Amino acid sequence: MAAPTTLVGSPELKQPVTSSPPPPQLQLLYQLASVPSTTKDNYRSFGNPCHAIYFNYKTHRHLKQLLPLAWSHNPLTTLKLICSLLRFEERDCFTRRPCNVVPIAGALGDFKDILEVLYGILDVNAVRKRRSRSRNLWFDYEEDVIQKKVGSGVDISSNTRMIDMARKAVEMYERDQDYQLLHERVSDLYAECLKSDIQNLKKYEKQKMENVNAKWCPSVDSFFDRSTLLCETIARKLFPLEECKKGNSVEEEEADYVSRVREWLMNEVLEPLRKVIKEGYEEKYVPYERRGEDPRVKKYLMCVNSKKIEAGAMLPHQIIGYVNDRNFRELAEAQWKAMVEEMYSKQGKFKNCLAVCDVSGRMSRDPMNFSLGLGLLVSELSEEPWKGKVFTFSRNPQLLLIQGDDLKSKCAFMRRMDNQDWDGETDFNKVFDLILEVAVKGNLKPEQMIKRLYVFTSDQDFDDASANSSKTDYRTIQSKFKEKGAMCVLGYEQKDEAIPVALSAEQGVARMTGYSKNLVNCFLDNDGDVSPDHVMEAAISGNYYQNLAVVD
């Protein structure tokens, strides 16, 4: 069906207005903008503009400077990073390639984002104000701006602003081919999904209707509809004019046709689908105390008892979080054993490695579990004479054999390692001396020597954790271990960062920051040898990224 030459909109749009200059053309194709020399130096120092976006973008303006270089460097990776960053609310940077907007939304299934992209073109400032408001506990995004009908209670200024935006939408649709393309592609996606939902509703009734797209389709006369006129375009596609004319000899005005199909969109499509959503929600979220035992836990425990547990179902720090929970203790123990067996027996990871574990008083719950989980895992996977051992994080570090018969008792032992003389740092020279002492006493061969030392600490800079500079310490290591083999030191800081960081090794010392699922999986999958490429690729390697393609 061909796109209409114009949008009709509400009757208010026909009222005369004072003349104003036409809206500027939407600049949709990237041009390599001139970038300040200091910014270019930052790109060169980071080495890869895609890395700079993922690890180091700081502001909206900074991101807009990085994107042109990233598009030139690797378009597909840049597109995947755009999808990854959608959750960080940088949507309005990405309207410059309209051909890619709907494939992104189709792949990720995030309809809210494409609504914001379309609306943001008409009023960027209003988008930012609403995002700020949406952080308010009492603001219901879905209800307030998508489904709720804008009624007579709206103040005059707000109503006037929506009318002005609707006029702008009509003008841009008529004059700007790129905006028209974006508007049509967004409405295509909604129309296709709603048509599929209605067919499924008729075929299956309430079955197989968990993912209903009507939740994110704007209601007729809602905030989004009044501003973008999107419902008109969706309704035209669901109820084409040619089909509406069948059996009707009376010719009607286009405005009457638009009014009629908008009403059908609401009454015959959105309301029936939203009724299913509401009923499904009420059934799905019945409190567990009314159901009896949590069926998810029961099912998982049955898997454990029948030895069908998945070794990678939980990460080490997640398992540690349940060792003191009487309801989940058995599950945590079984999960831990399965994970260690899978990684140790079948994959042979983390051989000849040791960990320095910070369990000091400054460690909050998540960083503590993280340090305990990865420290204990490394100790159990290492080979003799290092197996089962861990270093204390202290100015006078000790190499201790972890005591305990089960996961709970081992964690309790490690928690007691908190040494009062740590003073916010550890002496790595003493750590290396202790390693060398074990090597000399045991007359170890080079292949038996520690290859990597992991330092799991909290929210301080890795350099600050060392009594000396980490690079200075490493030069000392190189000289001491000249005959026994080289060692790499990895400082892993458990900062609660939105974007995880991994910096390449400099003089044998590497650093990682964050405890996101992707970063921990990267660490485990790559035997602790994690580069910036590993981290970035892990973040954009999910199944929903695989169907993305640059189409313009």
pLDDT tens digits, 51-62: 887 776 666 667
Tokens 């041009």 sit on residue: 31
- DSSP letters, 141-152, are HIIIIIISB--T
* pLDDT tens digit sequence for 351-372: 888 888 888 777 777 788 888 9
At residue 388, the pLDDT reads 92
Which candidate, 279, 254, 15, 10, places its Cα nearest to that of 149?
10
**Among 155-159, 472-476, 504-508, which stretch is predicted with the lowest mean pLDDT?**
504-508
**Among 15-19, 326-330, 350-354, which stretch is predicted with the lowest mean pLDDT?**
15-19
At residue 393, the pLDDT reads 85
C-alpha 335/C-alpha 249 separation (Å) is: 70
Tell me what percent of the residues of the chain surpass a pLDDT of 90.
6
* pLDDT tens digit sequence for 181-230: 888 888 888 898 888 888 888 776 655 555 566 677 888 888 788 888 88
Confidence class for position 15, pLDDT limits 50, 70, 90: low
C-alpha 314/C-alpha 339 separation (Å) is: 9
Locate the DSSP E strands across 310-380: 353-357
CB burial class (10 A; 0-12, 13-18, 19+) of residue 33? exposed
Judge whether residue 277 has pLDDT over 60: yes
Task: With beta carbons less than 8 A apart as the criterion, state whether 220 and 231 touch.
Answer: yes
C-alpha 62/C-alpha 65 separation (Å) is: 5
Judge whether residue 120 has pLDDT over 60: yes
Judge whether residue 375 has pLDDT over 80: yes
| Better pLDDT: 165 or 469 | 165
At residue 74, the pLDDT reads 86
Helices 407-415 & 365-381 angle (0-180, nearest 10):
110
**Collapsed DSSP state (helix, strand, coil) of residue 489:** strand
Confidence class for position 139, pLDDT limits 50, 70, 90: very low
Judge whether residue 494 has pLDDT over 90: no
| Better pLDDT: 83 or 489 | 83
Which candidate, 523, 378, 515, 371, places its Cα nearest to that of 456?
371
At residue 227, the pLDDT reads 80
The DSSP call for residue 546 is T
Helix, strand, coil share of the chain (percent; to 5)? 55, 5, 35
| Alpha helical stretches, state H, 247-294 | 254-264, 271-284, 288-291
Judge whether residue 497 has pLDDT over 70: no
Residue-wise over 504-530: b if at least 16 C-beta within 10 A, else e?
eeeebbbbbbbbbebbbbbbbbebbeb
Judge whether residue 16 has pLDDT over 70: no
Judge whether residue 289 has pLDDT over 50: no
Confidence class for position 3, pLDDT limits 50, 70, 90: low
**Among 224-238, 289-303, 480-494, which stretch is predicted with the lowest mean pLDDT?**
289-303
C-alpha 89/C-alpha 306 separation (Å) is: 44
What is the amino acid identity at position 283?
A: E
- DSSP letters, 383-445, are PTTSTTEEEE-SSS--EEEPP-SSHHHHHHHHHTT--TT-TT-B-HHHHHHHHHHHHHHTT--
| Better pLDDT: 266 or 331 | 266
Confidence class for position 109, pLDDT limits 50, 70, 90: very low
At residue 89, the pLDDT reads 47
Stretch 321-328: mean pLDDT: 82
* pLDDT tens digit sequence for 74-97: 888 888 887 776 544 444 444 445
Q: Which residues pair with 400 in a beta bridge?
A: 390
Two tokens at 304? Answer: 């454990």
The DSSP call for residue 495 is -
At residue 291, the pLDDT reads 36
C-alpha 523/C-alpha 423 separation (Å) is: 28
In the chain, the N- to C-terminal Cα span, in Å, equals: 22
At residue 7, the pLDDT reads 78
Average pLDDT, the chain: 69
At residue 239, the pLDDT reads 92
Containing 44, the helix (H) or strand (E) segment is: helix 37-46
- The phi and psi torsions of 349 (rounded to 5 degrees) equal -90, 160
Stretch 301-312: mean pLDDT: 59
At residue 499, the pLDDT reads 42
Two tokens at 421? Answer: 């003389």
- DSSP letters, 159-202, are HHHHHHHHHHHHHHHHH-HHHHHHHHHHHHHHHHHHHHHHHHHH
| Better pLDDT: 528 or 449 | 449
Task: With beta carbons less than 8 A apart as the criterion, state whether 379 and 411 touch.
Answer: no
At residue 237, the pLDDT reads 92
Judge whether residue 283 has pLDDT over 50: no
State the Rg of the chain over Cα. 30
C-alpha 424/C-alpha 68 separation (Å) is: 43
Residues in the chain: 552
In order of their start, the domains of the chain are 1-20+95-240+252-285 (no CATH), 303-347 (no CATH), 350-515 (3.40.50.410)
Confidence class for position 233, pLDDT limits 50, 70, 90: very high
C-alpha 104/C-alpha 178 separation (Å) is: 17
